Amino acid sequence: MVKFNAKNLNIWFGQVHALKGVNMEVQANEILSIIGPSNSGKTSFLRMLNRLNDLNPSFKMSGWLEFDQENIRKIDIEVLRKRVGMVFALPLPLPLSIFENIAYGVKMHGEKNLQKISVIVERSLKQAYLWDEVKDRLKSSAFKLSGGQQQRLCIARTLAVEPEVILFDEPCSGLDPISTAKVEEAMLKLKKDYTIVLVTNNVKQAARVGDRTAFFLSGELVELDKTEKIFTAPGDKRTDGYIRGKFG
């Protein structure tokens, strides 16, 4: 099943042409990795999927982008962002307690029953493999957690609003290898129930977790194929060069 479908998608930030005629699909229940050097448009593409680019006043777009066969611009923006969650590059806890961080989205969507919220908080923290580490200090500030714990908190916070898709924007760029492994483990488990789009600077990470991998360069989609294919027999010389570390 196709989750997202982009047809001839172009976007601009002021004069900068950030995405150039991108055609691609995101399948349900896959992990799609997007790799590419800085300024290749991979994060811009990701932020199209939950319309976070709209916050930038100089943003313009043309072309077509569908979510579940529906024009993404026709979907109520709060509903879209509830269905398409996001985990950012840096761990970004809100200035609230651990509990309130997870409960925030749930409360914003109208849930007032504290018992129900507690159940959701516990379930989300377990899904993100954080529950055992924080269950005794849910009331303390989220800023007291380590970087890796904070990032898993952010994953739990995203899961709490029960999205269908989770966008990861270089989620491990600030983490040590052990924390990275934990985040990747969580991602692989989540694939069963969620569609995951992962933007990463770490080519090896894409190879480890991605079902399919897309390579972006200068705002263009160079190649999109099964991860094994991309890493063993890429169809384009530029892809080959990038994954071998020749540029980028």
Q: Which residues bind other proteins (CB under 8 A)?
A: 50, 52, 55, 57, 78-82, 85-86, 88, 90, 92, 94-96, 104-105, 108-109, 141-143, 154, 157-158, 161
User: Smallest distance, Å, CB 80 to other proteins?
Assistant: 8
- Both tokens of 242, joined, read 């990038």
Nearer to other proteins, 109 or 226 (CB): 109
Minimum distance between the CB of residue 161 and other proteins, rounded to whole angstroms?
Answer: 6
CB of 88 to other proteins, least distance (A): 7
| CB nearer other proteins, residue 138 or residue 221 | 138
Q: Is 16 helix (H, G, I), strand (E, B) or coil?
A: strand
CB-nearer residue toward other proteins: 55 or 233: 55
Q: How far is the CB of 195 from other proteins (least distance, A)?
A: 16
Q: What is the longest distance spanned by two Cα atoms in the chain?
A: 56
User: Is the distance from CB of 38 to CB of 86 less than 8 angstroms?
Assistant: no
Q: What is the DSSP string of 71-85?
A: EGGGS-HHHHHHHEE
What token pair was written down for 151? 């990032």
Whose structure tokens read 């094994």?
228
Min separation Cβ 124 and other proteins, Å: 12
The least distance separating other proteins from the CB of residue 227, rounded to whole angstroms, comes to: 26
Determine the Cα–Cα distance for residues 172 and 150; give it in Å rounded to an integer.
11
| Cα–Cα distance, 17 to 219 (Å, whole number) | 7
Secondary structure letter of residue 143 according to DSSP: G
Judged by beta carbon, residue 61 or residue 92, the one nearer other proteins is 92
C-beta closer to other proteins: residue 26 or 222: 26
When the beta carbons of 72 and 217 are compared against other proteins, the nearer one is 72
What residue has token string 């924007």? 169
Give the pair of three-digit tokens for residue 201.
């600077």
Token pair in block for residue 146: 């380590």
Measured CA to CA, the distance from residue 195 to residue 168 in angstroms comes to 11
